């Protein structure tokens, strides 16, 4: 089978590799569509040496496909089922899994994320990670779940209801997913950051207030506060960058809830958190894949308008060159079409 493999930062090749066999509890999935996001670009470049420890290595996490082979003991799935994979594995029986918070599984065998790869014709997945797609959800729709799933988790924990206002830092793959999820919940979206076509896409998805930036790393919080002088009550940071976290806290009103999805040091002191009574929420993916699929199936959420380019697997190097290059500001979502009917 064909598979993309990284051999060095910026060096991705499509190679022939042996098709894997599913072990107990595993499923072999024929990958139909793969939508790269920021973590994949970080992996492609191995930014900061943080992502890849040894080469060659596969890539990709957000995908959909068709069940091609079942390992021993797999129940509830059948050959030919259309599926997407959840970000994290889980045991299904611990206290947090029983509470529906399987992204916080307590079983040590599952709570450390195993590296998923999907930029290949077939990939092995733990059966528990798979969600069956409603008929109305296309493979492309189902390859872009990570952003809305994170956002649904964040918005619920920020206790947001229809009509509430939320600031979303960043309009990359995760940010656009958050904007779409927010609009599906009828939230008033303040999209902060981004430039070029990406910022326009946030507006087309329904963000009511856009604060694009002219250059990477430009401080934008001051402009947001000119429009909203009291600050924002809820802010979701999606860039996992020092810049994004700084801007998120700068626009947060006293008493605000700030949801964080990635790295960067906190730009506030303990005392500032106390003085402003800030609520800081960590968001580790989410457990709401089934709900997001229902929002897509019912037509309330669609990221398809954000797809600006499609590539076949053989052209994956061109896709990553685009996503990592200066033109990325004008690229929404990119789909790698792998199976024949994606
Ligand atoms: Zn568990």
Q: What is the CATH number of the domain that holds 192?
A: 3.90.180.10
Q: Both 219 and 121 in a single domain?
A: no
Q: What's the CA-to-centroid distance between 94 and ligand 1, angstroms?
A: 4
Backbone phi, then psi, for 285, in 5-degree steps?
50, -130
Please indicate, yes or no, if residue 295 is contained in any of the structural domains. Answer: no
Question: In the chain, helix, strand, coil percent, each to 5?
Answer: 35, 25, 40
Contact 252, 260 (CB under 8 A): no
User: Radius of gyration of the chain from Cα atoms?
Assistant: 20
pLDDT on residue 262:
87
pLDDT on residue 290:
94
The parent domain of residue 237 ranges over 147-282
The alpha carbon of 70 is separated from its chain's Cα centroid by a whole number of angstroms, namely 27
Q: Both 62 and 106 in a single domain?
A: yes
Q: Both 190 and 253 in a single domain?
A: yes
Burial of 249 (0-12, 13-18, 19+ CB in 10 A): buried
Q: What's the CA-to-centroid distance between 145 and ligand 1, angstroms?
A: 21
pLDDT on residue 130:
94
pLDDT on residue 111:
67
Q: What's the CA-to-centroid distance between 103 and ligand 1, angstroms?
A: 8
Q: What's the CA-to-centroid distance between 218 and ligand 1, angstroms?
A: 41
Please indicate, yes or no, if residue 294 is contained in any of the structural domains. Answer: no
Q: Both 135 and 162 in a single domain?
A: no
Q: What's the CA-to-centroid distance between 71 and ligand 1, angstroms?
A: 21
- Among residues 178, 57, 69, 182, which one has the least CA distance to residue 120? 57
How many helices and strands, by DSSP H and E, does the chain display?
12, 15
Q: What's the CA-to-centroid distance between 97 and ligand 1, angstroms?
A: 4
Q: Both 9 and 113 in a single domain?
A: yes
Q: What's the CA-to-centroid distance between 164 and ligand 1, angstroms?
A: 33
- Among residues 111, 115, 173, 103, which one has the least CA distance to residue 144? 173
Q: Both 93 and 134 in a single domain?
A: yes
pLDDT on residue 302:
96
Q: What's the CA-to-centroid distance between 193 and ligand 1, angstroms?
A: 36
Contact 303, 139 (CB under 8 A): no
Query: Which residue numbers in the chain have pLDDT < 70?
Result: 111-114, 341-342
51: tokens are 């992502």
Q: What's the CA-to-centroid distance between 126 and ligand 1, angstroms?
A: 14
Please indicate, yes or no, if residue 342 is contained in any of the structural domains. Answer: no
Q: What's the CA-to-centroid distance between 95 and ligand 1, angstroms?
A: 7
Q: Both 211 and 124 in a single domain?
A: no
Q: Both 121 and 172 in a single domain?
A: no
> What's the total number of domains in the chain?
2
What is the pTM for the complete model shown? 0.95
Please indicate, yes or no, if residue 290 is contained in any of the structural domains. Answer: no
Residues facing 122 on adjacent strands: 30
């Amino acid at each position: 089978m064909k598979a993309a493999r990284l051999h060095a930062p910026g060096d991705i090749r499509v190679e022939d590799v042996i098709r894997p066999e599913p072990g107990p509890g595993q499923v072999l999935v024929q990958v139909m569509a793969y939508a790269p996001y920021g973590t994949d670009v970080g992996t492609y470049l191995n930014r900061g040496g943080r992502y890849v420890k040894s080469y060659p290595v596969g890539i990709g996490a957000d995908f959909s496909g068709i069940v091609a082979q079942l390992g021993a003991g797999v129940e509830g799935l059948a050959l030919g089922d259309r599926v997407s994979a959840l970000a994290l594995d889980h045991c299904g029986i611990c206290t947090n899994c029983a509470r529906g918070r399987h992204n916080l599984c307590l079983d040590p065998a599952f709570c450390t994320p195993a590296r998923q790869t999907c930029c290949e014709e077939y990939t092995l997945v733990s059966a528990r990670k798979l969600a069956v797609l409603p008929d109305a959800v296309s493979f492309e729709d189902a390859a872009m779940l990570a952003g809305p799933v994170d956002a649904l988790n964040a918005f619920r924990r920020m206790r947001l209801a229809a009509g509430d206002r939320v600031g979303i830092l960043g309009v990359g793959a995760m940010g656009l997913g958050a904007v779409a999820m927010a609009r599906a919940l009828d939230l008033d979206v303040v999209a902060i950051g981004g430039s070029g076509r990406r910022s326009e896409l946030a507006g087309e998805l329904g963000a009511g207030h856009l604060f694009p930036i002219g250059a990477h790393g430009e401080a934008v919080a001051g402009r947001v506060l000119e429009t909203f002088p009291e600050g924002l009550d809820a802010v979701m940071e999606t860039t996992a960058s020092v810049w994004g976290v700084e801007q998120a806290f700068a626009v947060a009103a006293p008493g605000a809830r700030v949801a964080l999805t990635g790295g960067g040091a906190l730009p506030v002191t303990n005392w500032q958190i106390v003085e402003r009574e800030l609520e800081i929420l960590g968001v580790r993916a989410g457990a709401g894949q089934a709900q997001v699929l229902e929002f897509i199936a019912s037509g309330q959420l669609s990221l398809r308008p954000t797809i600006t380019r499609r590539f076949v697997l053989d052209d994956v190097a061109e896709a990553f060159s685009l996503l990592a290059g200066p033109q990325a500001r004008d690229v929404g979502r990119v789909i790698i079409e792998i199976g024949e009917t994606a």
